[in-house]
């Protein structure tokens, strides 16, 4: 089992693979739990770290009790969350502003744009319930347009980890970021991908599987997991698919994409997001200028998911599945 | 020594000059807060024009960013900007936009979209409290702006947190674009509203420099509470053709009107 990146062959693990079972268990939890644990460590090491909550449930990390001077609960008020965070950052602190993705990207969009991105302030907006991860909570809680919205904001870095382990790496790797960050997490536990030796480089795609026929570029927990599943199925059919975990949606790893466009028949993008404006769109923007190639976008079509299902079933229903990825990849490989 | 009236007069004169440029200016709301801004910069704010990023400076946020003309005039008056730069207002390549840009010395946060400034100032106040700094935070809000819900999110938060180093000043000129605030979406009883959000409320004549100075140099008004000054003002104050007129909100002055406005200002002041 080796770490992806720089052409090193990678065979990603599944939860059931016999690799470092303790490590897998440690990260078989919701990403947000690992994030909060990591944040507490960062805050203990750096007094500038400041945690802002918005009356969120499901948090029993004890941050407020352990570090009361580095904590405030602003209540159910996301506009104010963004403004106060901007004010704190301008005053020399490193605020971690926590809310749900839909509330950050849409309800508080203007404050995020004007006060945080507009001032290039080091506010870390860390959101949960990204994509369809709020499942049965319904469309008010789904965030299928968040990436499209926040990636239009100049200065903003947008990171979508694929699992709890990558979340921890991402939180550490962005701790010193000078500008604003939008870190998009899900809600429940998702499969662990890769192993303990994986590294995280901001702005560089993580190579999960080498391949020469077609490239699958995915972002987000289920999409990356489905991409790996599809690549395995493709291998059985004799098609070699490269898999890139595009954890940093902005700034996008253009060179990895141009390499994919040059070296393989084309690209299939996978995201738990509308096909409009998200990763697929960003990939099209990147390759169209430098090395146009066929790009198939697997994502949620132009629709709200107004029925009840869990996260994965919602995505499958919307057309985001390993089978769909496999089909699109086969077609691209045969073009 | 330069008196308040001298400074405020020049500020108003420059607001009218900016109003005579091709894009015009938000004259009415600039004139209504001219005395407040003058008192703040002359007597209250601990800021250093020669060192605008001095860490312990008081943070001032012009939440009613459309009053940029008055802010520019005051910043020039107190040495943050070269006097002659005012002539570039609204012109190609200028730093003086219709709403303040962050790149301008003395501007902490760009504003223009209403309802942002109080949260920003609350964050700045909280940062000072957390770091043990001496900085205080001041936000100047329009009264029509108080119709934005985010103002009350911030007010509720600051009151709950007891941010005693936070001061809001409401330029209560009573008019918004379409007319009286009370006819649009009424704000009264405004003092009761702020008080019920946990603020110490002071009602003051926003054109009385002595009264403004007295309150703004005795802060916080109550221990452990943020302070709000509800400053009664007149939109277009100092220029008879604009006083208490909603049409003064955003005006592009022709050469003839500019002359008439300056003449009116001189007459009122004398």
Q: How do the pLDDT tens digits run along chain B, 270 residues long?
A: 699 999 999 999 999 999 999 999 999 999 999 999 999 999 999 999 999 999 999 999 999 999 999 999 999 999 999 999 999 999 999 999 999 999 999 999 999 999 999 999 999 999 999 999 999 999 999 999 999 999 999 999 999 999 999 999 999 999 999 999 999 999 999 999 999 999 999 999 999 999 999 999 999 999 999 999 999 999 999 999 999 999 999 999 999 999 999 999 998 775
Distance from CA of B125 to the nearest CA of A (A): 8
Q: Shortest Cα distance from B182 to chain A (angstroms)?
A: 25
Residue A119 sits at the chain B interface (C-beta within 8 Å): yes
Short-list B236, B200, B196, B204, CA closest to B33 = B236
- DSSP-assigned states of every residue in A109-144: HHHIIIIIITTT---EEEEES-BTTTGGG-TTT-BS
- Check B137 against A115: CB less than 8 A apart: no
Give the other-Cβ count within 10 Å of B184's Cβ. Answer: 14
Other CB atoms within 10 A of residue B180 CB: 12
pTM of the model: 0.94
Sign of the four-CA dihedral A189, A194, A195, A199? negative
Compute φ and ψ for B18, nearest 5 degrees: -65, -35
Closest CA to B229 of B208, B244, B254: B208
Nearest-angstrom CA–CA distance, A66 and A61 = 9
Enumerate residues 6+ apart whose C-beta is below 8 A from B75: B41, B81, B104, B105, B106
- Of B116, B149, B156, Cβ closest to residue A83: B116
H or E stretch covering B232: strand B227-232
Residue A214 to residue A142: CA distance in whole angstroms: 31
Q: CA geometry: angle at A190 spanning A234 and A327, to 5°?
A: 20
* H or E element, residue A265: none
Interface pTM, i.e. ipTM: 0.94
Query: Could you tell me if A68 lies within 8 Å of chain B, comparing CB atoms?
Result: no
Place of tokens 């059931």: A16
Strand, coil or helix: what is B34? helix
Q: How far is A103 from A194, CA to CA, in rounded Å? A: 31
| The pLDDT of residue B34 | 98
Nearest to B119 among A50, A79, A92 (CB): A79
**If 0-12 CB within 10 Å is exposed, 13-18 middle and 19+ buried, where does residue A37 land?**
middle
Tokens representing B157? 């938060």
| Domains by residue range for chain B, with CATH | 4-269 (3.40.50.970)
Residue A209 and residue A12 in contact, taking contact as beta carbons nearer than 8 Å: yes
**Domain boundaries along the sequence of chain A:** 26-184, 206-333
Contact A162, A186 (CB under 8 A): no
Residues of chain B with C-beta less than 8 angstroms from the C-beta of A154 = none
SS (H, E, C) A184-239: ECCCCECCCCCCCCCCCCCCCCEEEECCCCEEEEEECHHHHHHHHHHHHHHHHCCC
Q: Is residue B204 a contact partner of residue B197, using CB atoms and an 8 Å limit?
A: no
In this complex, do B119 and A111 lie within 8 Å of one another by their Cβ atoms?
Answer: yes
Looking at the complex, does the CB of residue A67 fall below 8 Å from at least one CB of chain B?
A: no
Residues in A closer than 8 angstroms to B110, CB to CB, are 114, 118-119
Query: Is B250 in the A-facing interface, judged by CB distances under 8 Å?
Result: no
Q: For residue B58, give the DSSP letter.
A: P
Query: Does this chain's domain A26-184 share its CATH topology with A206-333?
Result: yes
Yes or no, beta carbons of B130 and A69 under 8 Å apart = yes
Please tell me the CATH code under which domain A206-333 is placed. 3.40.50.920
Chain-chain contact of A84 with B156 (C-beta, under 8 angstroms) = no
Q: Which fold has domain A26-184?
A: Rossmann fold (3.40.50)
A280-332 pLDDT tens trace? 999 999 999 999 999 999 999 998 999 999 999 999 999 999 999 999 999 99
Q: Which residues of A does the annotation mark as catalytic?
A: 78
**Residues with Cβ within 8 Å of residue A65, at least 6 apart in sequence:** none
Contacts of A68 (CB under 8 A, 6+ apart): none
Question: Measured between CB atoms, which of B102, B120, B149 is closest to A87?
Answer: B120
Report residue B151 CA to chain centroid gap: 15
Taking the C-alpha atoms of residue B202 and residue B199, their distance in angstroms, rounded to an integer, is 10
Euclidean distance between the first and the last CA atom of chain A, given in angstroms as a whole number: 32
């Amino acid at each position: 089992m080796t770490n992806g990146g720089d052409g090193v062959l990678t065979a990603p693990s599944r939860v059931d693979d016999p690799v470092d079972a303790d490590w897998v268990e440690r990260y078989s939890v919701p990403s947000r739990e690992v994030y909060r644990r990591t944040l507490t460590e960062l805050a203990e090491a750096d007094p500038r770290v400041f945690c802002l909550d918005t009356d969120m449930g499901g948090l029993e990390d004890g941050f407020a009790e352990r570090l009361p001077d580095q904590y405030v609960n602003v209540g159910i008020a996301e506009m104010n969350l963004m403004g106060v965070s901007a004010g704190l950052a301008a005053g020399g602190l490193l605020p971690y502003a926590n809310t749900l993705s839909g509330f950050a990207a849409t309800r508080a969009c203007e404050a995020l744009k004007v006060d945080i991105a507009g001032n290039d302030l080091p506010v870390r907006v860390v959101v949960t319930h990204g994509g369809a991860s709020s499942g049965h909570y319904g469309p008010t809680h789904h965030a299928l347009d968040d990436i499209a919205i926040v990636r239009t904001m100049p200065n903003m870095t947008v990171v979508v980890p694929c699992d709890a382990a990558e979340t921890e790496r991402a939180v550490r790797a962005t701790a010193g970021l000078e500008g604003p960050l939008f870190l998009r997490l899900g809600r429940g536990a998702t499969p662990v991908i890769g192993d303990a030796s994986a590294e995280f480089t901001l702005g560089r795609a993580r190579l999960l599987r080498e391949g020469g026929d077609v490239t699958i570029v995915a972002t987000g927990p289920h999409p990356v997991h489905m991409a790996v599943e599809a690549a395995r199925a493709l291998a059985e059919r004799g098609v070699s698919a490269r898999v890139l975990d595009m954890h940093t949606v902005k700034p996008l790893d253009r060179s990895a994409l141009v390499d994919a466009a040059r070296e393989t028949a084309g690209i299939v993008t996978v995201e738990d997001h509308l096909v409009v404006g998200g990763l697929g769109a960003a990939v099209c923007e990147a390759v169209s200028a430098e090395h146009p190639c066929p790009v198939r976008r697997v994502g949620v079509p132009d629709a709200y998911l107004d029925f009840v299902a869990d996260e994965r079933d919602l995505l499958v229903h919307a057309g985001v599945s390993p089978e769909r990825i496999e089909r699109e990849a086969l077609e691209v490989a045969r073009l | 020594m330069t008196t308040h009236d001298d400074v405020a007069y020049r500020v108003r004169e420059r607001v009218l000059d900016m109003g005579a440029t091709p894009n015009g200016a938000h004259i009415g709301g600039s004139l209504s807060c001219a005395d407040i801004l003058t008192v703040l910069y002359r007597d209250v704010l601990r800021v250093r024009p020669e060192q605008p990023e001095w860490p312990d400076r008081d943070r001032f946020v012009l939440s009613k960013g459309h009053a940029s003309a008055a802010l520019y005039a005051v910043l020039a008056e107190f040495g943050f900007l070269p006097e002659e730069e005012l002539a570039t207002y609204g012109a190609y390549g200028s730093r003086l936009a219709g709403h303040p840009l962050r790149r301008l010395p003395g501007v902490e946060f760009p504003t223009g979209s209403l309802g942002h400034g109080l949260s920003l100032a609350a964050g700045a106040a909280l940062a000072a409290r957390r770091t043990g700094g001496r900085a205080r935070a001041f936000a100047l809000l329009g009264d029509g702006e108080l119709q934005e819900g985010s103002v009350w999110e911030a007010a509720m938060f600051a009151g709950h947190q007891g941010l005693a180093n936070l001061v809001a000043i409401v330029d209560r000129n009573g008019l918004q674009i379409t007319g009286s605030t009370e006819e649009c979406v009424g704000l009264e009883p405004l003092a009761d509203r702020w008080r019920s959000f946990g603020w110490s409320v002071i009602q003051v004549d926003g054109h009385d420099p002595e009264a403004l100075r007295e309150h703004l140099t005795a802060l916080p008004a109550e221990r452990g509470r943020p302070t709000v000054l509800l400053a009664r003002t007149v939109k277009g104050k100092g220029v008879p053709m604009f006083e208490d007129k909603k049409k003064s909100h955003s005006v592009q002055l022709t050469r003839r009107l500019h002359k008439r406005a300056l003449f009116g200002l001189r007459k009122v002041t004398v």
